[in-house]
Amino acid sequence: MWNVLGEEAIFIDIPYTFKSGMDRLAQKDEKGKKFREFLKDTDVQFLINGKTEENCFMLRVPDSLTPEDIQLMADVILEVAKSQGEKFIMADQTPQHFKVIISNSKEPELLGIHKTPGMSSMEVFKPIIQGWDAPGRQNTNTLKDDDY
């Protein structure tokens, strides 16, 4: 059984438990109020690296947040992490190594139902392929007239 920020969770509920725990543990001041507002619109994913046994909370924030807003989120998360110590995330009563990544970049989806328009596999590689024969660029793999 997992324990995230003092709440028990099964694996698939860890992102939701993280959000509710951060909401509960953030300070009740103006900074905490802003943090809660930003967290509400943030997508949280939980990943585990099986080789290093490191846990990762990936927070994808909305594009509307400024760098200062993202820094505020990082500051609040750091405060909560320091207050929780080894109890931030535990598996079977064992403290886990973890990291929190905050990002506002969105990778295009190449496959599936929510595929990003114009990002089929060919569209992704077109700039690379077009660069091979771009004007002013010599293709070193072609033979010259005097090589025959």
The domain that holds 23 is classified in CATH as: 3.30.300
Tell me what pLDDT residue 126 has. Answer: 74
Tell me what pLDDT residue 63 has. Answer: 85
The range of the structural domain enclosing residue 121 comes to 108-137
The answer to whether residue 97 is domain-embedded is yes
The answer to whether residue 143 is domain-embedded is no
The answer to whether residue 7 is domain-embedded is yes
- My answer on whether 56 and 115 are in the same domain is no
Residues in a beta bridge with 9: 2
Q: Please name the residue that has the structure tokens 């293709």.
A: 139
- My answer on whether 85 and 124 are in the same domain is no
Tell me what pLDDT residue 65 has. Answer: 87
- My answer on whether 126 and 57 are in the same domain is no
- My answer on whether 97 and 130 are in the same domain is no
CA distance 35 to 74: 9
Tell me what pLDDT residue 123 has. Answer: 66
The answer to whether residue 17 is domain-embedded is yes
Number of domains in the chain: 2
CA distance 83 to 55: 19
CA distance 35 to 69: 8
> Could you state, in chain order, the average pLDDT of each consecutive group of 10 residues for the chain (148 residues)?
89 92 90 91 90 90 88 92 89 89 76 66 70 67 61
Tell me what pLDDT residue 116 has. Answer: 66
| pTM (two decimals) | 0.68
116's CB contacts (< 8 A; 6+ apart) are 108, 109, 110
- My answer on whether 64 and 127 are in the same domain is no
- My answer on whether 112 and 97 are in the same domain is no
- My answer on whether 91 and 118 are in the same domain is no
Tell me what pLDDT residue 146 has. Answer: 63
